[in-house]
Chain A
C-alpha cells in the first residue's frame, strides 16, 4: 500500500508554457450574496476597494452542490478591488475583482464519483490557492492567479492534497473546469497528483 501511495504521487513537469488539466466539469461560478470587508472601504461610484485584512466572502444558497460545479467561498488579501456593474433591473452585481497582496482563495468543487455518470453521486473537494494577485471576471467565468501560484485540491477523506499545482500564472476556467498553468520564463510549471488510496486514518 505504501508503495502504491508513493508510486501514486506523480510529478509532471511541463516545459515552457502551458499545461491544461481537468478535474471534472465545473459549469459556472456560483456567487450568491457577497460580503466585502476591510479596515478601510473606499467607494467611488461603482468601484469599491477594501484594504487592511481585506476579505471577500460569497454566501451561496445552502443547497447541495451539483456535480461539475464550483463555488467560490472566500478571498483574503491585502487589497481587494471590486468593479460593480449595474444590471438592467438596476441591481448592482460584480463585474470584476482585482485582488493583490498575499492572496488566499478558498473554493469548493463537486466532482462526480468515479464510475458514476448520472451525477447522482458527488464528492466535494476543497481548493486552496495562494498567489500574489488574482483577477476574477464574471463574464469570462475565470480566475487568473499570478505570482508564485500554488493550488492545492484536497479531499476531506484523504490525507494531504490530491493535487498540487505550482506556476507563475494559473488560470482556473470555471466554464469547462480547465486549469492552465504557466511557469515563469525559462522554468517549468509543476503538477503533482496523488491517488485516492492515500486515505486518512
Chain B
C-alpha cells in the first residue's frame, strides 16, 4: 500500500537501491531518448519522506511512482524475462519481494532470451518473489512467431513455468480458427494450449 508523504524513508537495502536505480535509469533513458514518442516524457519519482507514524511497517518498505516510463526485468542470470512500457507505475519493495503495479501496459514476454509474446493490458502487477505477472481489465496477448492471439479478462504469466493462464471470456484466434473458452493455459509462445469448456470454429 502507498505510504503517506510523512512516513519515514526506511533504511534501504542494496537490492532496493538497485531496483529503484534500474527503473529510474530506464525512465531517464526514455525521457531523453524519447523511445519513439514525440511528446516529452514526464518522470515523476516520489520516494516517500520521513515519518513518525504510530504505524510502522513490520518490514522495511520503499515505494516510488513513475509516469510514462519503461521497466525491464531480468532473472538471476541476467536473462531478460520481460519488459514493459506503461503510463503509470507504483513500485514497492517489502523484504525480499519487489512488486510493481503498472497502468496501461504494453509488455514483451521473453522465452530463452527472445521475445515470445506481446501483451497489452490496462493493469499489470508483477511480483519478483513469485515471478508472476498478473494482468487484468481485459488482456490481449499475441505470439510473435505464430499468428496466434488471445483475449481474456485476466491473465497470469508464470515466467518460471513458461506458462500463461487466462480466465474469463477467453477467445483465441489463429487465422480462420477461433476458440472460445472459459479458461486456458498455454506456453508463452502459445504453440500449445489447453482450453476448458471450449468451442472451436473453423470458418
Contact = CB atoms under 8 A, between A and B. Distances in A.
Interface string A10-48: 000000000000000000000001111111111111001
Interface on chain A toward B: helix, strand, loop, or mixed SS? strand
A50 B197 CA distance: 10
Interface string B174-199: 11110101000000000111111111
Given A91-B175, A92-B175, A42 B194 contact: yes
Given A92-B175, A92-B176, A45 B191 contact: yes
B178 to A, nearest CB: 10
Contacts of A50: 198, 200
B1 interface: no
**Interface magnitude class on chain A:** 20 to 34
Contacts of B203: 33
A48 B179 CA distance: 11
A92 B174 contact: yes
A35 B195 contact: no
Interface residues of B, number: 20
B201 A35 contact: yes
Contacts of B198: 37-38, 40-41, 50
Contact of B201 (A34, A42, A44, A45): A34
Nearest to B146: A45
B192 A43 contact: yes
Interface in A128-163: none
B84 to A, nearest CB: 27
A43 B181 CA distance: 13
Interface in A34-71: 34-45, 48, 50
A35 B194 contact: no
A193 interface: no
Contacts of B196: 39-40
A90 interface: yes
B17 interface: no
A93 interface: yes
A5 B132 CA distance: 72
Contacts of A91: 175-176
B202 A41 contact: no
B199 A37 contact: yes
A94 interface: yes
Nearest to A59: B201
Contacts of B181: 41
Given A92-B174, A92-B175, A92-B176, A40 B194 contact: yes
Interface of A: 33-45, 48, 50, 84, 90-94
Interface of B: 172, 174-177, 179, 181, 191-203
24 contacts: A35-B199, A35-B200, A35-B202, A36-B199, A36-B202, A37-B198, A38-B198, A39-B197, A40-B194, A40-B198, A41-B194, A41-B199, A42-B192, A42-B193, A42-B195, A43-B172, A44-B192, A45-B192, A84-B202, A91-B176, A92-B174, A92-B175, A92-B176, A92-B177
